[in-house]
Structure 1
């Protein structure tokens, strides 16, 4: 992807330094996106519910006077007004990371009232702030591969999986597989966002990341990295999510954190971008993923699925729509896994295998 340079000229804004708002700046994608935008010379308005959590990221961002941090809560209408004021674009990365809920009576009503409705309202609160700001040219919404399925209504694998292959909401409600609450939150928030955008003249783009891995800036290990490495950590909750993804897609698709952030910026800048875009660098079946992890991180407790696994990927997860605009991936699966393991070793989430101090 060609770098845009520090000064970006656009109609009515020639020679001006562009500014962008990033919601969820303390999360995995959000924190790296802030860093990427600053490296390109943009002004960045980073939002967080708790600005105190930004403190440890400031030295890593190194934004100087081009970085402004705002306290903003999606649950509070008007909370984002100051953050988006004067910005040319908004990256809506913030999202609830609720994967499931403890079983309780009327679980559907509970999830709807306490998780889904606030998630939808929060997205609309942000978009209303964008309308009031009047300066926003485009909003890039971070969706999730959890909103996509490789299986048709007949239960058979689709040959090609593209942006049209949306997971049916009634199926998610009925099956309640691992991560189902997060899936519904993303599906409903994205649907509400596009409806509001169409009704209010907002240029909205949705990017659909697959499982994100690689290095991370956050002080804790991101959920997507925990999911990706669950076969070697033995974390049953995150391994169940990984297995659910594999059952729905027929494979595990991955993308590097730097590539997904580059794709966000690419879609913000590309004038002809429209609609939804899958961002996937590589796919493999579960057994291949486990074998790769076992080679990179030898351990006796490797988690292998007891379910029957297919030998080849039944469906191609296609990011052709994104690549057709000219986007190119920088990192492959080996680098994604190696960097994920390396970062987790540095954070103490993984121990050096077999007491090999020279690893990685």
Structure 2
């Protein structure tokens, strides 16, 4: 039995791991999906998306080659869509985050939000940001409350310590919010923790400052399925607003740190587990995702009923 039609949405960029999984889940929930992949990624086929599990699902998937720096290609992908799931994926020939990348991410966010404002059908934008846009602050040790969606990373601190990923996510999200408020658009952001997965490596730019994140009790991660569900939840819930810190795990003990190191490091070069066991501390958690968890309760119960 096919799911009831839920309208048409766009996923941009659909070529990354998160975007690809969002396309699959949205198809399975009955949406028609415009999967926008970057122009330089050739040969993407409908059959590559596992959500195309039937001829009916396949009919509801359209692939667009678009570029966040090519305004017209964005407009084409958004035509007829009521919602957009947007995440920035660097071009494959420029994977390294630096200060220039921050400027490009701002420009891309501006282009995409401007295109949404000019597209009459778009009712809601889900903008993927990062937890790193929240917790890099000078005054963190003196804060009496946990980090949550009300907090922003300090741009000057990010530049000072060359935290380019956090800088990119912070300035791009700020630019998106400025554009959304100026154009009167309905937007929510998902400030995601580090996305776990087999392709994760020590070179991931989120990990710059990992030791400090660990000591400060803000080193948070997210599983792919949880992250995808969070995006769909805030899109479908009419009461969703503002920013949502999204994580379902925190690295705050030597045991958890060792598990993450096993993912990040080839086994041949792993430090002995004994060196981790010597540190028996549990770092107090200083970051809260209560706002998202409250919203997800109803979403998860609805999914269980529908299974």
- Alignment correspondent of 2:303: none
Q: Deviation at 1:237?
A: 7.8
Picking from 159, 176, 179, the partner of 1:193 is: 176
Q: Using the alignment, how far apart are the partners of 1:59 and 1:165 within structure 2?
A: 36
Would you say the 8 A contact 2:3–2:30 is kept in 1?
Answer: yes
- Alignment correspondent of 1:12: none
1:7 paired with 2:1, answer: no
Q: Using the alignment, how far apart are the partners of 2:269 and 2:115 within structure 1?
A: 49
Would you say the 8 A contact 2:138–2:157 is kept in 1?
Answer: no
Picking from 109, 112, 122, the partner of 1:123 is: 109
Q: Using the alignment, how far apart are the partners of 1:301 and 1:238 within structure 2?
A: 21
- Alignment correspondent of 1:243: 211
Q: Give SS of 1:160's match.
A: coil
The one-character-per-residue Cα deviations of 1:56-88 (angstroms, maximum 9, x if unpaired) are 962534241111111111112222111001001
Q: Deviation at 1:272?
A: 0.8
RMSD: 3.2
Q: Using the alignment, how far apart are the partners of 1:203 and 1:318 within structure 2?
A: 24
Picking from 315, 323, 332, the partner of 2:293 is: 323
Aligned pair in 2 of structure 1 residues 53, 149: CA closer, same or farther (>3 Å)?
farther
Would you say the 8 A contact 1:158–1:314 is kept in 2?
Answer: no
The one-character-per-residue Cα deviations of 1:104-135 (angstroms, maximum 9, x if unpaired) are xxxxxxx3xx4233221211111121122101
Q: Give SS of 2:238's match.
A: coil
User: After alignment, is 309-318 or 295-304 more displaced?
Assistant: 295-304
Of structures 1 and 2, the one scoring higher in RCO (CA 8 A, sep 6+) is 1
User: After alignment, is 289-298 or 197-206 more displaced?
Assistant: 289-298
Q: Using the alignment, how far apart are the partners of 2:43 and 2:212 within structure 1?
A: 31
- Alignment correspondent of 1:273: 240
Q: Give SS of 2:42's match.
A: helix
Q: Deviation at 1:303?
A: 4.2
TM-score, structure 2 length as denominator? Answer: 0.81
Picking from 67, 70, 85, the partner of 1:76 is: 70
- Alignment correspondent of 2:186: 203
The one-character-per-residue Cα deviations of 1:309-333 (angstroms, maximum 9, x if unpaired) are 6812233321111122244798xxx
Structure 1: 5+ residue stretches without partners: 9-16, 102-110, 216-220, 331-360
Q: Give the 5 Å matches for 1:283-302.
A: 283-285=250-252, 287-292=254-259, 299=267, 301-302=269-270
Structure 2: 5+ residue stretches without partners: 301-307
Q: Give the 5 Å matches for 1:159-170.
A: 159-170=145-156
Q: Give SS of 1:276's match.
A: strand
Aligned pair in 2 of structure 1 residues 6, 99: CA closer, same or farther (>3 Å)?
same
